[in-house]
Structure 1
Amino acid sequence: MMRSLVWILLGIASVIQSKPSIGAVDIYTEHFPPYQYRDVDGVVVGHATAMVRALMAKAKLDYKIYLLPWHRAKQQFEGSQGALIYSIARTVEREGLYHWLMPLCDLNVGFYKRVENTQNIASYSLDNLKQYVVGVGVAQPSLEFLRAQGFEDDKLVTLSSLNQAGGLLEKGRIDYLFGAQSFVEQMSRAMGTQNKWELVLDVPELSAKLYLAAHKNTPKNMLHKLTSAKEKLGEAKQNDKKACHTGRYIQKSLSTITDLQ
């Protein structure tokens, strides 16, 4: 009897020890105001970031946020099992590649030009913009969309960060800037060019919901913690999409987590 009891206890201990522990979670993102960016103290903040931090706090998981150019952020994320990424558009092509944890904000995309641009275009369309030089982010669905619509590579200036595109647009080195409207408008305000740029064509085909996503091979116990936390946030009305536009977000539980930022 005693020997049987010992084996039972050893078996229980083995099961407990074999359960994988969750260390600090690596979270990758890009500079994409107002959703995510560094403040004057170097801390990653923004509307989407607040939502992600609240989720991690509710899940009681330690984490570190890495802010990188998008193509590098995506590479690091895809090479790191158990990593998270935001704000990533949920598209048909990406649907089966990741675990889609939590919706964050809405994304609308369009073409911008300088008001003083005197090109004589009576009605803007994708077809009549193909002859002009367009700045667009690299490794983005927007770039693939333009190529699929017949935009030639010699007319596309691909940029690791759309921050660069504002300067190019102002200097006349590109004719149009193609990107997320909220980002372009925020960049325009930061540069003092809000009265110098105008949206000339909205592209509803690229409208999407931005998400926090997990690597496909994320451990099940970690996924369970995150999905449970997301449900609790929803019940507490802490996952409010208005936060994307007003900056209002409840973060009552942030003090319960050790942020390794």
Structure 2
Amino acid sequence: MKASLFLIIFLLSTNSFAFTLNIVTEQFPTYQYLDENGKLVGPSVDKVTAVLAHADVPYQLNVEPWHVAYNAVTRNPETCIFSIGRNNEREDKFNWVFPVGRFTSSFYALKSRHLKLSVLEDALKYRTAVIRNNFSHQYLKENGFTEQEQLVVISSFSKVLEILETRKNQLDLVVLGDSQVQDASKSNKLMQHLEPVLKLDHFDNQLYFACNKSVPEYITDKLMKSFEQLSLLDR
């Protein structure tokens, strides 16, 4: 009996030690971004790495374009992602482990276009660029926007600049995170030609650390408990 109990404990501890969590994210200033030395930094990174260290969960972290990171966490077991918004389309796909911050997004237009929007429905008569599988892409589809009529789907934030240069006559609006625009405007003059024309504010604007549902429950439980314990220490 004692030998069997020892074997069970040994196997559980060995399994825990052998497990390495795969984590994916994107550059999303100011929440997480690569500094001048190529190191991923930012408040979301600080929170996530603190929880992982407290929970003593080994991990590897990769920075990818959003659509690559999102595909990875939906398809690959033992994978988690941050910072991801929570909506109806995503709700049942992931385990939502802990929050990492809040965000805001807006419709942006070229200042030279003098576009005015009062409500979301006003944007239905325009062509709007969105990042594939981004929160705003899914949110607009939930509210009647289609890729056949209103939406131009792009692969990453960097493509926004390319579109502004080459296709600005075929495009009216772009939906972006406000912090991304503010950060990019510091170094790119093209971004300074954009102005916010309508804030998207009718949804949960919390960002999360979320995991593929194949991540073992004992791992997500450890992370949740560590987040709660660290949150208590911060009060």
TM-score by length of 1: 0.78
Determine if contact 2:132/2:154 at 8 Å carries over to the other structure. yes
Choose which of 132, 135, 145 in structure 2 pairs with 1:151. Answer: 145
Q: Deviations over 1:136-184 (max 9, x none)?
A: 1101231233234333424422111122113423552532111222222
Q: Structure 1 stretches of 5 or more lacking a match?
A: 1-7, 239-261
Q: 1:222 to 1:144 in 2, by over 3 A?
A: closer
Indicate the SS of the match to 2:91.
coil
Mark the CA change 1:222 to 1:9 in structure 2 (over 3 Å): closer, same or farther.
same
The runs of at least 4 aligned residues of structure 1 exceeding 4 Å deviation read none
- Pick aligned residue for 2:55 from 42, 54, 59: 59
Query: Percent of aligned positions with the same letter in both sequences?
Result: 28
Q: Distance in 2 between matches of 1:18 and 1:106?
A: 40
- Name the amino acid aligned to 2:8: V
Equivalents in 2 of 1:231, 1:128: separation in Å? 42
SS of match in other structure, 1:205: coil
Q: What is the CA distance between 1:201 and its match in structure 2?
A: 0.6
Cα 1:178–1:13 shift into 2, 3 Å = same
Pick the structure with more helix per residue: 2
1:183-194 map, 5 Å:
183-193=180-190
Maintained 8 Å contact 2:164/2:190:
no
Deviations 1:30-84 (A, max 9, x none): 1211112222222222221111111111112222111112222122223333321
CA distance in 2 between counterparts of 1:106 and 1:137 reads 19
Given residue 12 of structure 1, which amino acid in structure 2 is its aligned partner? Answer: L
1:237 to partner: Cα distance: 0.6
Question: What residue ranges of structure 2 are gaps of 5+ in the alignment?
Answer: none
Q: Secondary structure at the match of 1:76?
A: helix
CA distance in 1, matches of 2:220, 2:71: 21
Name which one, 1 or 2, has greater alpha-carbon Rg: 1
Task: Tell me whether 1:13 sits opposite 2:6 in the alignment.
Answer: yes
TM-score between the two structures when normalised by the length of structure 2: 0.86
8 Å CA contact 1:111–1:199 kept in 2: the answer is: yes
Aligned-pair Cα RMSD in Å: 2.3
